[in-house]
Amino acid sequence: MPDLLANLNPEQLAAVTLPNEPALILAGAGSGKTRVLITRIAWLIQHGYASPPTVLAVTFTNKAAREMMARLSALLPIDTRGMWIGTFHGLCNRMLRAHYRDAGLPQTFQILDTADQLSALKRLMKGLNIDDEKYPAKNLQYFVNNAKEQGLRPKDVDATDNFNRKFVELYDAYEQQCQREGVVDFPELLLRCYELLAHNPPLRAHYQARFRHILVDEFQDTNKLQYAWLKLLAGEHNAIFAVGDDDQSIYAFRGANVGNMRDFEQEFQVRHLIKLEQNYRSHGYILDAANQLIAHNARRLGKNLRTDAGHGEPVRVYEAATDTQEASWIVEEIRALINTGLSRGEIAVLYRSNAQSRAIEHTLVNVGIPYRVYGGLRFFERQEVKHALAYLRLIDNPNDDTAFARVVNFPVRGIGARSIEQLADAARLYNCSLAAAIPYVTGKAGSSLGAFANLIAKLRAQTQQMSLPETVEYVVRGSGLADFYQNEREGQDRLENLQELVNAASAFVSEEGYGLDTPARAIALRPGATAAPELTVVSDDPGSVVLDAASPADLAQNPDTMTPLAGFLSHASLEAGDNQAQAGQDAVQLMTVHSAKGLEFTAVFITGLEEGLFPHENSAMEADGLEEERRLMYVAITRAKERLYLSFAQSRMLHGQTRYNVRSRFFDELPQDTLKWLTPKAEAGARWGGRSDNAGWGRDWFGRPGREGRYDGHEAGAAAAPLPAFANEQRAVDTGFRVGQQVFHTKFGEGTITALEGGGADGKAQVRFKRHGEKWLALAVAKLQAVE
């Protein structure tokens, strides 16, 4: 029997071994939060306090859920399948699939992602002739999601003015549309599930009796609805083990309510509040910086991180003249770090907003350092993948108008905008789906639409007995998507992605434990299940639970009534897949501070620390805005293990305009003895303000900064490299390249200069590249970068 409790510190030990009562674990950054959560589950099971089916653990991201699952099974040889471990949305989806009838949904209901939802709203508004100028669909989307997250249906929303009354009206119409189509959006998954439990006492009792152990990760990120859902599941007797950190609450803008922590403490009369303050990640100075910064926030639950590691290196601060120069400095430091043997993947560059990545990427490309930018298009969000999924959705649920509208004319089959408008009119008239309205459209448009309907029907019939991967492959071909991208000039990547979709279907089938030959649209029993599980509560007799082909035990073990196809479509909506561009390679990590939450790196650069940018100017308008920015900075600082670099630029190109910024106020909130200014620290009074009447100083600065006291290269390699810090600017002055010099080119990579011609603006260089042979390049055009 493994000793789970070995190497836990006293606080962690106390948390892991708490009695089954409501508990709040205030887990600081790098304090072993996930470990505590996992060990708690393992410990409960090892000691017989819990069996797997009584455990429900909920996270915000699929990644966190997967990690929990993986680490748990590594810790204990237990069957994690009986446990419910997943995201809020994933678990709600699971419950709604198991009780679709009680939830008032069709068995094949589809999930709209954010983009689908927006297009559904646009379609709705177009049909109602709503002026998009006056009532933007985007705003309605926000309105609807916000209402749902407050648990409000249209009838519950208090509309004070005509504008809001219109939104409520549209919210109502949208709900009807979704219901008719058999689709649910993200917040609807949660609200439906909440209502399912709230309005169905026997069902609620069933799950309350089952989930005796509820564990919540990142509790500070829960919204009102998620909190209400948890409360409902916990009932009177179940304990919630909530783990979170109010200082890392950075998602208020998407509805997260830190107040849930205080509410939880009071409403559940929490007697066990444990603070995990021992940090296992960062060196001392870094923690000092984090602690002192966050101390400037009011209304904290209160926490101070400590470490056994020494002070470590001081926090380095760099003031650049421009954003370009800031990028050059960062890249030079990165090179120095790599030279000391640090791997690229251990270095992260963080920024407040995505737009800032451009300058840094550009410089990294010039120097030839591999990097990876987080964020961007994810696999299931690619247009070709969404098209293929739309066909699959139509096969499962012909009423899904969002899917229908997406592919009715893709690949093009002569169904233009006016045909679709005709069809939409008919659908509205007969209050039916677009697909069902096809017979009502006459003429040429009608026959084209009829052909499309036949195509879908054919795909549906022919894939009837096929497995999921076969179905996906058949649909990719049968829909004409494969041919379309085959003939498209730039279609090869898209074609590969469609093949990848087939692979994803295979992977899904085996990971979920379906037999490889299981028909994609048959309810399949997983290994160990004895019957198709469905628990149905007869609504006109709320006191009785009628079992539909399953015993409660079966349901407890195996609540899935999803067909492989429905499961796969859910998976595609709920887990959009990786968004990493060049995964696998050892690369410097570029990301927003938000994306960095939960990660750690040996060396971290926090960039663009300027008033207006970080803290962001928009935060000044929001209640609690500055405090949230400060928490964001806190998250950024605590990502660093050994080296932390802070930088800012006096001028920065933003939205096509040069802006002059003042250094961030956060510098004044950090303990000065932990900071090492690589550039002289300007006193607050002597610094230029960010006002436009300071335009003159920019010119002065663009000449040459005074050299005295100026940071002239990283300390580590100061002897070796004379002036890497300002390589870009100085090259502009003397244009000096020499034959034999090593250079980098954005496109061609590394090379050696073999000849030089002319000078000044029309200078040319012949460069022999390692991969691309010899080329003549105009120095004014080619951005050659000198290499040491």
Partner DNA sequence: AATAATAACGTTTTT
Partner DNA sequence: CGTTATTATT
Contact set for DNA, span 269-328 (CB under 7 A): none
d(CA 29, CA 598): 8
Q: Rule CB under 7 A: is residue 444 a binding residue for DNA?
A: no
Q: Rule CB under 7 A: is residue 443 a binding residue for DNA?
A: no
Question: What's the count of helices (H) and strands (E) in the chain, helices before strands?
Answer: 28, 23
d(CA 786, CA 783): 10
CB 27 within 8 A of CB 14: no
Strand 742-745 and strand 785-786: the pairing is: antiparallel
d(CA 68, CA 87): 11
Known active-site residue 741: no
Helical pair 564-574 and 88-98, crossing angle rounded to 10 deg: 160
Query: Applying CB under 7 A, which of residues 69, 574, 603, 637 lies at the interface with DNA?
Result: 574
d(CA 179, CA 33): 40
Query: Applying CB under 7 A, which of residues 1, 412, 623, 733 lies at the interface with DNA?
Result: 412
Query: Applying CB under 7 A, which of residues 355, 432, 457, 532 lies at the interface with DNA?
Result: 355
Contact set for DNA, span 323-352 (CB under 7 A): 352
31 labeled binding residue: yes
Contact set for DNA, span 181-210 (CB under 7 A): 186-187
CB 76 within 8 A of CB 60: no
Q: Which residues lie closer than 8 Å to 161 by C-beta, 6 or more apart?
A: none
CB 714 within 8 A of CB 336: yes
528 labeled binding residue: no
Out of 11, 102, 188, 217, the active site residue is 217
d(CA 747, CA 605): 26
Known active-site residue 754: no
Q: Which is nearer to DNA, 355 or 545 (CB)?
A: 355
Stretch that binds DNA, among 41-49, 353-361, 523-531, 560-568 (CB under 7 A): 353-361
Query: Applying CB under 7 A, which of residues 656, 703, 740, 760 lies at the interface with DNA?
Result: 656
Known active-site residue 217: yes
Nearest distance from C-beta of residue 540 to DNA, angstroms: 34
126 labeled binding residue: no
Out of 181, 185, 188, 218, the active site residue is 218
DSSP letter assigned to residue 680: P
In angstroms, what is the C-alpha Rg of the chain?
A: 29
Q: Which is nearer to DNA, 488 or 586 (CB)?
A: 488
Question: What is the dihedral sign for C-alpha 355, 360, 362, 364?
Answer: negative
Q: Rule CB under 7 A: is residue 17 a binding residue for DNA?
A: no
299: left (phi > 0), else alpha (psi -120 to 50), else beta? left
Q: Which residues lie closer than 8 Å to 526 by C-beta, 6 or more apart?
A: 81, 512, 513, 514, 558, 560
Known active-site residue 33: yes
Nearest distance from C-beta of residue 479 to DNA, angstroms: 16
Query: Applying CB under 7 A, which of residues 21, 74, 114, 716 lies at the interface with DNA?
Result: 114
29 labeled binding residue: yes
Q: Which is nearer to DNA, 414 or 680 (CB)?
A: 414
Out of 382, 639, 641, 643, the active site residue is 639
Q: Which is nearer to DNA, 88 or 318 (CB)?
A: 88
DSSP letter assigned to residue 664: P
Query: Applying CB under 7 A, which of residues 232, 321, 369, 415 lies at the interface with DNA?
Result: 415
Nearest distance from C-beta of residue 574 to DNA, angstroms: 4
d(CA 585, CA 582): 7
Q: Which is nearer to DNA, 89 or 393 (CB)?
A: 89
Stretch that binds DNA, among 83-91, 236-244, 263-271, 316-324 (CB under 7 A): 83-91
Q: Rule CB under 7 A: is residue 249 a binding residue for DNA?
A: no
Known active-site residue 458: no
Stretch that binds DNA, among 87-95, 195-203, 287-295, 426-434 (CB under 7 A): 87-95
32 labeled binding residue: yes
Q: Rule CB under 7 A: is residue 414 a binding residue for DNA?
A: yes
β-pair partners for 373: 590
Nearest distance from C-beta of residue 272 to DNA, angstroms: 28
282 labeled binding residue: no
Nearest residue to 644 via CA among 707, 601, 612, 701: 601
- Give the helix, strand, coil percentages of the chain, each rounded to 5: 50, 15, 35
Known active-site residue 172: no
Nearest distance from C-beta of residue 412 to DNA, angstroms: 4
Q: Rule CB under 7 A: is residue 358 a binding residue for DNA?
A: yes
Element (H, E) at 752: strand 749-757
411: cis peptide before it, omega within 30°? yes
Query: Applying CB under 7 A, which of residues 43, 60, 194, 268 lies at the interface with DNA?
Result: 60
Q: Rule CB under 7 A: is residue 494 a binding residue for DNA?
A: no
Stretch that binds DNA, among 61-69, 158-166, 327-335, 532-540 (CB under 7 A): 61-69
Q: If binding means CB under 7 A, how many residues of this protein chain bind DNA?
A: 42
Nearest distance from C-beta of residue 194 to DNA, angstroms: 15
DSSP letter assigned to residue 788: -
Strand 601-606 and strand 347-351: the pairing is: parallel
751 labeled binding residue: no
Q: Which is nearer to DNA, 7 or 618 (CB)?
A: 618
Nearest distance from C-beta of residue 423 to DNA, angstroms: 14
d(CA 553, CA 559): 10
Query: Applying CB under 7 A, which of residues 9, 292, 353, 506 lies at the interface with DNA?
Result: 353
Q: Rule CB under 7 A: is residue 383 a binding residue for DNA?
A: no
d(CA 336, CA 321): 21
Query: Applying CB under 7 A, which of residues 416, 528, 709, 758 lies at the interface with DNA?
Result: 416
Q: Which residues lie closer than 8 Å to 88 by C-beta, 6 or more apart?
A: 58, 60, 190, 226, 229
Question: What is the dihedral sign for C-alpha 709, 711, 716, 719?
Answer: negative
Nearest residue to 620 via CA among 610, 609, 611, 631: 611
d(CA 89, CA 67): 17
Nearest distance from C-beta of residue 755 to DNA, angstroms: 30
727 labeled binding residue: no
Out of 12, 226, 248, 422, the active site residue is 248
Nearest residue to 636 via CA among 323, 397, 319, 282: 282
Query: Applying CB under 7 A, which of residues 9, 409, 499, 754 lies at the interface with DNA?
Result: 409
**Is residue 444 helix, strand or coil?**
helix
Catalytically annotated residues: 33-34, 217-218, 248, 639
Binding-site annotation: residue ranges for ATP? 27-34
Binding-site annotation: residue ranges? 27-34
- Write out the residues near DNA by the rule CB under 7 A: 60-63, 87-90, 113-114, 186-187, 251, 253-254, 352-355, 358, 374-375, 409, 412, 414-416, 574-576, 579, 591-592, 594-595, 616, 618-619, 622, 653, 655-656
